[in-house]
Each structure stands twice: as structure tokens, then as C-alpha cells.
Structure 1
């Protein structure tokens, strides 16, 4: 889910270790566009706290550019775009479903389940390291969905998500101010 195509998967194999060595985790990678001008979109976050600010984007972009220039894995011209996953972020790793438990999400499957592929509900964690749990709208029981069936998942913008984002920013600012006072 972090990449959609075989080419995305090869780029992840190349770039994951580089990002990790720099202290980041790639949340999602997409190579988009035709043969002429392509765009390599990398969504990432700091491994230590899940944050990603403009300085982090620039730093990771420089590190990835060096490797991409040396390895030259993409034919033709492309533009590298490094960004934060954003507040209504994609959920691409099993750990994302744990981290954002209690928040509303939309998921799409690669097959029909109970006659449909798209579901919306509140994330209820992870079962047995291969299955996500979600409390679906209008359903009495928690649904268990194999992680391998999910092709797309993202958080839904809500007041609860906005509040959580604001609380996390306030904590980071407080932590930064405390660090500056001690230093």
C-alpha cells in the first residue's frame, strides 16, 4: 500500500534505508505521470515522533536526491516532491491502524466483502499482526479486515482529528520551548 506499482516497490527498496538512516520513515511513495515528465511523490515523517515540518521535507529531499542522482532508477525527467502525510493522512502501514485507533477512517479493499469494497468507520486497532479492526457505521459488531486486502485507507477529517492534531502541535511546541530553556 505504500506504493502502488512494481516501480514504486523498487523505489521503496532503494529509498527506505536512506530515509531511515536520516531519521525518517516513508509513509507513501507514488511515481506519477507519463513518459515525458513524471513526479515522484514521497510522503514521510520523522521516525521518532511522526512529525514532518518544512525543514524536514527539505532535508529528506536533499538526501533522497543524492541517492536518486547516483542510482538513476527513473528513465527520463522527473520532479521529486517530499511532503508530510498531512492531518487526514493515508494509512499505509499496519502500525498506522494502531496509532490512529479511535479515529474515523475510510478504507477500500481489493475485493468485495459483504457486497462492497468501500467502508467507513472508527479504527479499533489491530488483531494478530495481520488484521485491522474497524467499527463500521451502522454495524453492531467490530469488523475484522485482513490488512493484505486493503488497497487504500485514510483518516477522515473530523473535529476529533483536528483536536488531536492541535494537541500534538501544542505538545511539540511546549517540548521545543522546554528544550530551548534548558539549552
Structure 2
């Protein structure tokens, strides 16, 4: 699928989400005889539940059909990004403060990685506490990937 189709789905999803307290994280299209459209949504202060995903899916599907984006059948899946997905949008960071993270970042042309507790989120970046004596401040523009490390306590 072309980027123009993904861009159009993103645009339609944004319009659906504009009346909610959720935001679009990502749109993916997985090929096959029946294309699968994966739409990830999240909230700044909370996650999205199954009923909300179903409602967003219904509205988005209606708009996609109206815009005739696919000539045949397709499948749409709306969900929260899930723990195994990296944080993509800056709005995902504040609600994850206090959680353990693995952050890949670039500094002076070098790829680095740090693991610790996401302590603080500002407009400019994040602070990750590696241990009681060491906290690393990372600007958003240096971040390559941030993943939550689940804790099963």
C-alpha cells in the first residue's frame, strides 16, 4: 500500500478522534488478499478500552468506505499500542512516569542505550534514573526508541 493511503487513513482517524480524549499513535497496513489496517490510539491520561476501540473502528470504517479507499474487503483493528510497542508520541510519556524503561538514543553520532525509571517528562525531554546516584537527561530529538519494561509484581 502506498503512503498516500496510510496518510488518508491517518487523516480520517484524526477526524474521528477529534471528538474524544484520544490521539492517533500509528497506522499500519499489512498486506494479503484481505488488507488488515492496524490503528493504534492512546490517551494522555488513560488507555483506551475495548468498547471505545469498537466505536472508533465503526466510525473510521464508515469514513473509509465513504472515501472508497479499498476496492474489496479489508479488516480494521483499532487498539491501544500495548506494552510491547515503543512509545512513539510525546503525549505517551507522562502517564508512564515511574515505570521502568529501556531507551535507545543517539549522542554525538553514537548509538547508546540506558535502562532505568522514567522519572520526569518535560517539553524538551525525559529524565531516566539509572540508580540512586545517576539520572540521565535526554532531549526528545536524541531519542531513537523508548520501550516500557513490564513489571509483574
- TM-score class normalised by the smaller sequence: 0.7 to 0.9
Question: Does the 8 A contact of 1:133 with 1:143 survive in 2?
Answer: yes
Distance 1:86 1:46 in 2: 12
Out of 144, 149, 165, the residue aligned to residue 137 of structure 2 is: 144
Which residue of 2 is the match for residue 134 of structure 1? Answer: 128
Q: State the Cα deviation string for residues 37-92 of structure 1 (Å, max 9, x = none).
A: 43221122467x52322211211110111111122446875421111333566422
TM-score for both structures, normalised by structure 1: 0.63
TM-score for both structures, normalised by structure 2: 0.73
Query: What is the Cα deviation at residue 123 of structure 1?
Result: 0.6
Number of residue pairs matched?
151
Out of 35, 38, 42, the residue aligned to residue 35 of structure 2 is: 38
More helix by share: 1
Q: CA RMSD in A?
A: 3.3
Listed as ranges, the gaps of 5+ residues in structure 2 are none
Question: Does the 8 A contact of 1:36 with 1:76 survive in 2?
Answer: no
Out of 8, 11, 14, the residue aligned to residue 9 of structure 2 is: 11
More strand by share: 2
Listed as ranges, the gaps of 5+ residues in structure 1 are 161-183
SS at match of 2:59: helix
Distance 1:140 1:131 in 2: 20
Which residue of 1 is the match for residue 93 of structure 2? Answer: 97
| Equivalent residue runs for 1:11-160 within 5 Å | 11-21=9-19, 23-34=20-31, 36-45=33-42, 50-73=46-69, 78-86=74-82, 90-109=86-105, 111=106, 115-127=110-122, 129-136=123-130, 140-159=133-152
SS at match of 2:97: coil
Question: Does the 8 A contact of 1:44 with 1:84 survive in 2?
Answer: yes
Distance 1:106 1:32, change over 3 A: farther
